[in-house]
Structure 1
Amino acid sequence: MAISIVDGSTAPAPQRGSDPRRASVLLIEDEPELAEEVRLELEAAGHSVRVAYDVDEGLRAARSGWASILVVDRMLGSADGLSIVETLREEGDSTPVLVISALSSVDERISGLKAGGDNYLVKPFDVRELSARVEALMRRRGETRATRLQVGALEMDLVDRKVRCGGLPVELLPREFKLLEYFMRRPGQIVTRAMLLEDVWNFKFMAQTNVVDVQIGNLRRRLDPTGQRKYIVNVRAVGFKLDADG
């Protein structure tokens, strides 16, 4: 099946990476209803989306260089979507890839990452989490490793490992420092618990643990012992985000 330019636009395709705040997403998914749901969510977030429905068309579209992010389903009919990722990596294409799949075992996740996937999301999923992961990949792709970060009243020096909040020094444990850095590199972005477990705790599988909530609670108290300002806020049923205004 041919690639579907789902926004109906006849304008020339944007160049990869032309706007670091917006992704050009190629979704390779053979379930039309899911593809439409994902498309609508990503477009609502300001991204451009194209859809391909099988391996051949997906690979052809990926090779065009239009996409800044690929979202690839593992099972495309009788074919494995990882073949697309493996081929692109062999050809030297480093476009970030989010693999989506109903295959949820640790071995399958490892296979997806070893094939060249940058992230792995298990079906069924909330499309808001998929959107958050796409944005995380986009930020990671264009991220400069600044040694000083500032978000509102929060300041972080990554060389001296110092944090200040409202001009006052804040003492953080190593994990708390890493957690705050993760949020400060993504101000205002929704971050899910699964993203934090994978990127901050280096878990490569879904663990039944409340460690994220416990550590965020500790970090909140470190930043403001009075509890009057909550810099890291809950996003109901999705995760958290750093609110620069507190």
Structure 2
Amino acid sequence: MDHINRGPVSAAASRKTGSLLVVDDEPTVLELLPAALRYAGFSVTTAATGRKALAAAYEDPPDLVLLDVMLPDMDGFEVIRRLRELPGVVPGERAVHIPVLFLTALDTTEDMLNGLRLGGDDYVTKPFDLQVLIARIHAVLRRTSGTSGTLLTVGDLELDPEGHQVTRGGVPIRLSPTEFRLLHFLVANAGRVMSRTRILEAVWRYDFGGDPSIVDTYISYLRRKVDSTEHKLIHTVHSVGYMLRKPRT
């Protein structure tokens, strides 16, 4: 069944307007909708199950999730419950709120109210008009994109937790999602020594069962990208762990 009423869509391929995660188990939707959204200027990833959606949202949080309710492993209402409970990068910190727009064939008032009560930011039923959907995506992003002054700085290093951007001396630094979480944790705890165990718990979470030396490996990755100048930020405290501090002048 074709759930998408197509119409002319303004091309904005040269200007990305946000990152979207489309969660739906219908192959047609996962094929056609992301293509249309990319044409409209969005960066799009997809997931066909609730578990894959949660993993994707945790690994690289999107600006907005388009979420179907009827999924093969758990319904969309359970997905948003778990999404709202995802931990932040720093222990005890809640994750940045990821807007959710329900996109589903369930069109009863009870379903709509349930989705909104659980933290949904909008609710669109299938079939839908593509231009209207894109307009509503933009509306949600406008409502939820206000910055809260959370730019973190240590010396000439700047880290934007919400925008997932890092610069040093004004020069952008490209980091993988894991490298970003590790740097965010160190910046948020600047001036304090963090043990490998605490870093593992914060960055790789409590279910990590691999080799703790992965911390040393990723610290070396960060040093190559962040500490390429003589003014070093990341320091080893032997037999204890690592700390990030402003270079002494």
Computing the radius of gyration from Cα coordinates, the structure with the larger value is 2
**TM-score between the two structures when normalised by the length of structure 2:** 0.47
Give TM-score scaled by structure 1 length: 0.48
